[in-house]
Structure 1
Amino acid sequence: MTEMVYGAVPVVRGGEPILPKWWRTVDRWAMSCVLMLFGVGLLLGLAASVPLAAKNGFEPFHYVQRQAFFGGLAIVAMMLTSMMSPVLVRRLAVLGFLAAFVALALLPFFGTDFGKGAVRWYSLGFASIQPSEFLKPGFMVVAAWMMAASMEINGPPGRTWSFALCIAIVLMLAMQPDFGQACLVLFGWGVIYFVAGAPMVLLVGMAGLVIIAGTVAYAHSEHFARRIDGFLSVEVDPTTQLGYATNAIREGGLFGVGVGEGQVKWSLPDAHTDFIIAVAAEEYGLVLVLCIIALYTVVVVRSLLRLVRERDPFIRLAGTGLACMFGVQAMINMGVAVRLLPAKGMTLPFVSYGGSSVIASGIAVGMLLAFTRSRPQGQLSDILGRNRAR
């Protein structure tokens, strides 16, 4: 009777456990595609890294074991990051970005080039660290945070701040020189700015500035000019990396020459990193290449479709930047191998060998999965539904 008069006392229940909630809300299709990409990377590493191990006097599968170790760390980082709330992801991204930015600024003084002509790494003896790989996802989140803040009433000039920060990063990367990463950072910032409502005139103006900067770099950087000349040349030197890669892709055909039967891995010094797709095309053919492209496409498209329904500007901007950067990096790597783009020295996420690359990719995808988790109260459709109900 008391409950009938005064109403029942609400029962306070504990929140849903983290793991079941994470599994229910995370994009399992995108996560599965990433895990399959990592598996493909190990499969290709069994072939591509053997010549390098023999050259350096290691066991045949030395680099495959290292890739499996770094990949395991990347998967753990991806899972843990994807369980975080967007606010926690933002806080950790800001701290990570600051650390990577300082490390990038100190590269000219303490970095090394490992004989490749570009000072991009810190040598730790047992391993090396490439700060730019960790800076990219952090910068996407920081830039999105600044632009989202500028949308608020009396908000800070976040767009101006993020642009100044972007230019500083691009200049430091160009000084290494690392024009590929510089273009990727600039592209990611441009995507976020476009989604945030940038006028087309400004974006066209920025494209013009990029062309001017490229012209200046071509005139004053032998490294940059050599790669552009190689790309524009009608004839491909068969003794160059592009020549070996082109021939391998041609020899692979539709189904490849057979597992372990490829020869390009013995000629290409970067067969396990920048030109891993050439190894895939030669040994497994166009079929595997199309499967790899499909896996990247699923991750990017599903992420963007989920972000379209998100009403939080920060989540929408940060997720879009991370998704587009992930897809474009893969596109650049494969585009270089088939001579659609100049050589960039950029890895294929989760497939190419490299500790910094795979761990940073794991963190970036973990952030993306955290931003694209289902949040029913945070979608535009819920607001429209409430407005109709009124």
Structure 2
Amino acid sequence: MAQTSKMGRSTGGFKMTEMVHGPLPVEVRDPILPRWWRTVDRWTMASVLFLFIFGLILALAASPPLAERNNLDAFHYVHRQAVFGGLALLAMTITSMMSPDTVRRWATVGFGCALLALILLPIFGTDFGKGATRWYSFGFASVQPSEFIKPVFVVFSAWLISASFEPGGPPGRMMSFAVAVVIAGFLALQPDFGQASLILFSWGVMYFCAGAPLLFILSMAAATVLAGFVAYNYSEHFARRIDGYMAADVDPNTQLGYAANAIQEGGLFGVGTGEGSVKWSLPDAHTDFIIAVAAEEYGVLMVLVILGLFAVIVLRTLARLVQERNLFVRLAGTGLVSMFGVQAMINMGVAVRLLPAKGMTLPFVSYGGSSLIAGGIALGMILALTRSRPQGALSAVMRGY
């Protein structure tokens, strides 16, 4: 009887509360798609989509001569770019729906797999006659591990660096530096100095944002100069590219010569769709020198539009990261978008001879399955890390978390 009386009073209390304050609220979570669409940066997504569309347009202009030389259908490479680009956009969308913790977990697993693939590359890889062992060939397609290790390395390193700020945390900054040096060393052995430079650059950006001491930054700059000196004296591949860049006159029969002439011929509005000639001379017109095709056939205006799209992605991402209070998210997002922007800058800088030739694609514009899909994963990570979410207390910023 006493228990019944207590239950009655309890039930009556709930009823009285409902009468006075209304029914107790029930937490209802939004479906994942509406919540994702509401929180994701749609300007960045739109910019990526436009870059991919421009890439298809330029593939239509640049790839038919290569297909003809290889006795393939005229639009063989266009079709492949459309397929790989579709997979890249799908990978970007799926990855962008993840939480930062999920991004970190999958990136850690992906980093282990990509590092193993990079280590085994000298044994099982191929160079396709280009003098650099960078690919695994499967007959119907090839995979370039260096493209996939870049985004997962950034996230893995950001996790290590952020963990070093926790009480009793590991020496994450030194561990991440050791990992960066190992990866850069394996890339240099291919040789692929461009990707090795990107790895070290992205790590340096994250370490700087985490509060690197000035003496260490100066030491890194000195080590970079020393590494360049050693590479120039002991790598014929590296020395040849530096000599070509430093030459007073550009040999008109080299890739840099063809690209420079194409950009001059294009002028402001270009020579017209399909009227360019550089695609018949440049073997890498559809990949490393795609911007030269854009400048020749569509003029400086298209180049400026492409530049603007890259700027939107970089600036929008950085603007969102400024408001972020989670150290891991800030470091990983900054490292990813810095790598993305600098890769685009290097590709276009090579075409106008501001930088020595690097053999680096223009993200989402150049042809290449590995580049497109890895770029989609990287942009998906950026979108996932910059989605609008409740922030922690302001005091967390002062503690570095």
| TM above 0.5 | yes
* Alpha-carbon distance between aligned partners in 2 of 1:380 and 1:4, rounded to the nearest angstrom: 36
Give the distance between the partners of 1:373 and 1:336, measured in 2 at CA: 33
Please, which of 240, 245, 248 is the counterpart of residue 254 of structure 2?
Answer: 240
Pairwise CA distance, 1:154: 1.3
1:177 is matched with which residue?
Answer: 191
* Range 322-331 or range 3-12, more displaced: 3-12
Structure label with greater radius of gyration:
2
Deviations 1:153-178 (A, max 9, x none): 11100001000000000000000000
TM-score in terms of structure 1 length: 0.96
Deviation at 1:14, TM superposition (A): 2.3
- Contact map agreement 2:325 2:391 (CA 8 A) in 1: no
Aligned match for 1:342, one of 322, 331, 356 = 356
Aligned partner letter, 2:44: A
Change (3 A) 1:244 1:381: farther
Change beyond 3 A, Cα 1:290–1:381: farther
CA distance in structure 1 between the partners assigned to 2:18 and 2:388 by the alignment: 37
Mapped pair 1:24 → 2:38? yes
Where structure 1 has 5 or more consecutive residues not aligned to the other structure, the ranges are 385-390
* In structure 1, distance between residues paired with 2:196 and 2:396: 39
Q: 1:326 pairs with 317, 340, 343, which one?
A: 340
Provide the alpha-carbon RMSD of the alignment. 1.5
After superposition, give the CA deviation of every residue in 1:15-69 in whole Å (9 maximum; x if it has no partner). 1110011000000001100000000000000010000000101111000000000
Structure 1 residue 377: deviation in Å?
Answer: 2.8
Q: CA deviation at 1:199?
A: 1.2
1:381 deviates by: 10
What's the CA shift string for 1:155-207, capped at 9, x where partnerless?
10000100000000000000000000000000000000000110122112101
Does structure 1 conserve the Cα–Cα contact (< 8 Å) formed by 2:325 and 2:396? Answer: no
Structure 2 Cα separation of the partners of residues 355 and 365 of structure 1: 15
Flag the 1:172–1:84 CA change in 2: closer, same or farther, 3 A.
same
1:350 match: secondary structure: coil
Correspondence for 2:9: none
The structure-2 alpha-carbon separation of the partners of 1:383 and 1:211, relative to structure 1 and needing over 3 Å to count, comes to closer
Count matched residues. 384
Unaligned runs of 5+ in 2: 1-14
Q: Tell whether the 8 Å contact from 1:310 to 1:380 is kept in structure 2 after alignment.
A: no
Q: Could you tell me which residue of structure 1 aligns to residue 235 of structure 2?
A: 221
Distance across 1 between alignment mates of 2:299 and 2:390: 43
Identity of aligned residues (%): 67
**Structure 2 counterpart SS, 1:237:** coil
1:51 to 65, 69, 75: 65
Q: Give structure 1 regions of 4+ aligned residues with deviation exceeding 6 angstroms.
A: 381-384
Correspondence for 1:209 among 194, 208, 223: 223
Partner of 2:310: 296
Aligned residue type for 2:192: D
Paired residue for 2:114, among 89, 100, 103?
100
> How much does 1:269 deviate?
0.0
> Structure 1 residue aligned with 2:181, among 167, 174, 178?
167
Q: Distance in 1 between matches of 2:130 and 2:396?
A: 53
Residues of 2 paired with 1:381 and 1:280: CA distance?
Answer: 49
Residue in 2 that maps onto 1:109: 123
Structure 1 stretch 136-145 or stretch 2-11: which is displaced more?
2-11
- Whole-angstrom CA distance in 2 between matches of 1:380 and 1:251: 55
Counterparts in 2 of 1:221 and 1:383: CA distance versus 1, 3 Å? closer
- Does the CA contact (< 8 Å) of 2:160 and 2:173 recur in 1? yes
Instruction: Name 1:314's counterpart in structure 2.
Output: 328
Per-residue Cα deviation, 1:93-144 (whole angstroms, up to 9, x for no partner): 1111110000000001000000000000000000000001000000000000
Q: Does 1:120 align with 2:134?
A: yes
- Report the residue type matching 2:164 in the other structure: S
- Contact preservation (8 Å) 1:248, 1:281: yes
SS at match of 2:391: helix
Whether the 8 Å contact between 1:245 and 1:337 is mirrored in structure 2 is yes
- Structure 2: how far apart are the matches of 1:102 and 1:158? 21
- Out of 93, 106, 122, which is 1:79 matched to? 93
Report the Cα distance in structure 1 between the residues aligned to 2:381 and 2:125, rounded to whole angstroms.
28
How far the C-alpha of 1:11 sits from its partner, in A, is 2.7
Match for residue 351 of structure 1?
365
What SS is found at the alignment partner of 2:258?
helix
Kept after mapping to 2: 8 A contact 1:376/1:382: no
- For residue 108 of structure 1, what is the amino acid of its counterpart? P
